Amino acid sequence: MTTRLGILSFLCVLSLSLHAQKPYRGDGADDWLRFVPVASTYALKVSGVRSASSWKRLAVNSTLAYALSSGVTWGLKCAVRERRPDWTDRRSFPSGHTSAAFAGATILDKEEYRHVSPWISVAGYAVATGVAVDRVARHRHHWHDVVAGASIGVGGTLLGYWIGDKLTGEGCRYGVGVGAEGVALVIHL
């Protein structure tokens, strides 16, 4: 009797543990590809390609862009709690990988290297789009998750650049100078 009960208990535990296994598709290239656009921005800057920003402006604005994008993304993940298509957890909406990829692509495009070649911007957004497609293809996200993530990444970067320019005074069209002979207002056209 105890042998049968032991075997029955073992089979119940085994069936529960097998049922708890989730069809996670593993880590893919999107785990590192999401950082390629922003890494490219800094690599081009280090290699001496002329960008539209100083090091100070790039550091402040890109930090703010990622902080805003990540904050909004994780806040929504905790608030919405949508189940992933592969049922691994309830953090599907919005896509954090896509948000980070599009934030980096927008940094690469917005102020840094669009003036050098539009193809640099195209490459950044192509990598970000590849990350989004991969997230859906591997059943980690629904399409609306990656669209929201892309929007948050772009919007967070635009807002980060706007706030950063206000904080640092760089990228501003107006300047005020005070000297021995009075106050001067400078407008950059």
pLDDT digit string (tens) for 6-50?
Answer: 444 444 443 443 444 445 555 778 889 999 999 999 999 999 998
Residues of the chain with pLDDT under 50: 5-22
Nearby residues of 155 by Cβ (< 8 Å), 6 or more positions away:
69
Query: Where are any strands of DSSP class E within the chain?
Result: 174-179, 182-187
CA nearest neighbour of 135 among 176, 178, 101, 182: 101
Nearby residues of 151 by Cβ (< 8 Å), 6 or more positions away:
102
Do residues 172 and 185 make contact, with C-beta atoms less than 8 angstroms apart?
Answer: no
0.75 exceeded by pTM: yes
